[in-house]
Amino acid sequence: MQFWCLYMLIFWFLRENDAVINSRLWYTEKADPAYVAAGDKIEFATTSMARCAAVSSAATGADLVCYDGVTCVIITAADLNGIRGRVSNWKCFLAGSRCRYPFYEYPEFGCLNFVTNNLVNFTTARTSCPIGSHLYSPETLAEAVAMSDYLFNKRYAKPLDNLCGAAAPTLPDGQPQPCYPFAFDLYCCNATGMCGNKTADCNCPTCVNYNKIAKRFYVGFEMINNTWTFDSGVTVSKAKASVPWSTVDPKNVTTCALMNLVPLSNASWYQYAEVNCSLAGAYICEWD
């Protein structure tokens, strides 16, 4: 119980002092500062985890910081091999990317992996996320709407000068720049990295047809016991066109739903649409 409290307190300090710690991301790491040579660490007494983190942000090569409530140890060793992974009574935090490949940090949503090259039905999507991850599930209805907005306005925004794939800079999430997945637009990325909708743009071996793969995404959302429920526990109204449904859903016929680009019924959102559970879709996985 005491350790749990200390743990929560440290997290509270880290969260409350985001500005102080230079907006670095920290994740817990097993480590024992006893294994660090004296010249490779800065050690001082403090009862403030925030101070410990702030001093480490200012020090170079200090990606690992350990704290036991009375002492702060900032590890400045360039090589953390042999230091990380050791069980101790210290609470240690490692700075850097929290998400591990192929997951990327989406600040509003967590560590996500958009699986767009494996089109499967809902049942299969449920069990297809890599080990250590699960189908993405928004924590609030506002987050569900924010994800729709993100997909439409950022992830699948109209590419600059119609450049895509290798010809364009990768997106912040590490994915290649896609083409606009509208049915009537230049939705295929062709072999030279230009968006087009001619047969030659869509059918070559390296061509990607975004009209086929990026229009609909399964997430952890299904009708359970006659109630539409996200895996996070958030329930959704069954009234037609209520948030986050498209204007024509739900129909109360199937138990599956996905985020679908519905440009004709709503010109700006990826909305939730009730679908036949057999329909093939892409899906979004979230690191546990």
Ligand X SMILES: *[C@@H]1O[C@H](CO)[C@@H](O)[C@H](O)[C@H]1NC(C)=O
Q: Does 269 bind ligand X (CB under 6 A)?
A: yes
Q: Does 186 bind ligand X (CB under 6 A)?
A: yes
**How many Å apart are CA 68 and CA 265, to the nearest integer?**
56
Q: Does 266 bind ligand X (CB under 6 A)?
A: yes
Q: Which of 78, 89, 225, 233 binds ligand X (CB under 6 A)?
A: 225
270: nearest Cα among 213, 195, 211, 217: 217
**How many Å apart are CA 131 and CA 59, to the nearest integer?**
36
Nearer to ligand X, 100 or 198 (CB): 198
The one-letter amino acid at 278: S
- How many chain residues touch ligand X (CB under 6 A)? 31
Q: Does 196 bind ligand X (CB under 6 A)?
A: yes
Write out the two tokens for 23: 């907006």
Q: Does 239 bind ligand X (CB under 6 A)?
A: yes
117: nearest Cα among 286, 288, 280: 280
288: nearest Cα among 131, 76, 87: 131
Q: Which residues sit opposite 218 in a β-bridge?
A: 283
Binding segment (CB under 6 A) for ligand X, from list 7-15, 109-117, 121-129, 166-174: 121-129
Q: Which of 28, 170, 199, 252 binds ligand X (CB under 6 A)?
A: 252
* Shortest Å distance, C-beta 244 to ligand X: 7
142 φ, ψ (degrees, to nearest 5): -60, -35
Write out the two tokens for 60: 């170079």
Q: Which of 9, 160, 200, 264 binds ligand X (CB under 6 A)?
A: 200
Residues in touch with ligand X (CB under 6 A): 121, 123-124, 184-186, 190-192, 194, 196-197, 200-201, 224-225, 238-240, 243, 251-254, 266-269, 276-278
